[in-house]
Every structure is written in structure tokens, then in C-alpha cells.
Amino acid sequence: MGIRYEHSIPEKEAFFALFETTGWNAKYNFTPDNLAKAVRNSYFMVCAYSGAQLIGTGRIISDGIYQTLIADMIVHPDYQQQGIGSEILTMLIAKCQRDGMKQIQLASAKGKIGFYKKYGFEARPADAPGMQKYL
């Protein structure tokens, strides 16, 4: 069965189940409703399906002009290394280009920097690192 890509908002329980495969929720303890609200507020989202199963996502958070962040690049572990993340990222970058955005930011999961470098992403210079604060 082939992989189907859609610009859509996934069903909340399906997205929650996929998000849980990352291990990220151990830190945040998001509920399905929390995550559903987050994805509804996205600028653009791509979902990958195998049959009816959600197996991959990526989304853009943006003001539509110059602040652009790619988030929730997730591929289910059973489907990794099959080009699904590449297809999702390509679709997200193309959307940014079509809409005239000039810069894309993202936070890379551990061990994934090489993946993003293949698409032209660069690490921030050591003299201009990003910052964050957890609440």
C-alpha cells in the first residue's frame, strides 16, 4: 500500500498516538486536546497516511511573512528510513517558498541534524545561539 500525503489537520487521537512515539510527551504531558489545539493553530500542516493510519506529520507555525518555524516533524518508527520525512519536509519548504517566506527555523531532534543539512539547513553560529525557556 502506498503512502498518501495530505494538507490536513489529523484526527486528535491519531496525532496524539503518533506524538507519543517520539518520547517528547514525557517532558510536557500534553493531552490529546492540547495537541489538537496546537495543530489547529498551524499555518500549514502535512500528514502522511498508510491506509487509514497516520504515520507522519510536519507543520509550519508562522505569521505568514518572515517568522517561520517547522515543528512536529514526526515519522512513526515503523515507517522511518522510507523517505516519508523527506517528502513531508519538501512539501513544507515548498509552501514557504510559494508564500514568499525568506527564512525557516527549526529545532532538530538529537541525531537528526544531518537530515536537515541535506535540505540546506545550517546550525546557528555559536556566537548567536537560540534560547528557550520552559514554563
Which residue, 86, 75, 80, is CA-closest to 119? 86
Topology, domain 3-117: Aminopeptidase (3.40.630)
Band (133; pLDDT cuts 50, 70, 90) = low
Q: Residue 128: what pLDDT?
A: 73
Sign of the C-alpha dihedral, residues 80, 84, 90, 91? negative
Q: Residue 123: what pLDDT?
A: 82
Residue that wins the pLDDT comparison between 84 and 1:
84
Poorest-pLDDT segment among 63-72, 89-98, 126-135: 126-135
Average pLDDT for the chain = 92
Domain residue spans in the chain? 3-117
Q: Residue 112: what pLDDT?
A: 86
Band (1; pLDDT cuts 50, 70, 90) = low
Section 42-54 average pLDDT = 98
Which residue, 115, 116, 23, 21, is CA-closest to 77? 21
Section 88-109 average pLDDT = 93
Q: Residue 85: what pLDDT?
A: 96
Band (40; pLDDT cuts 50, 70, 90) = very high
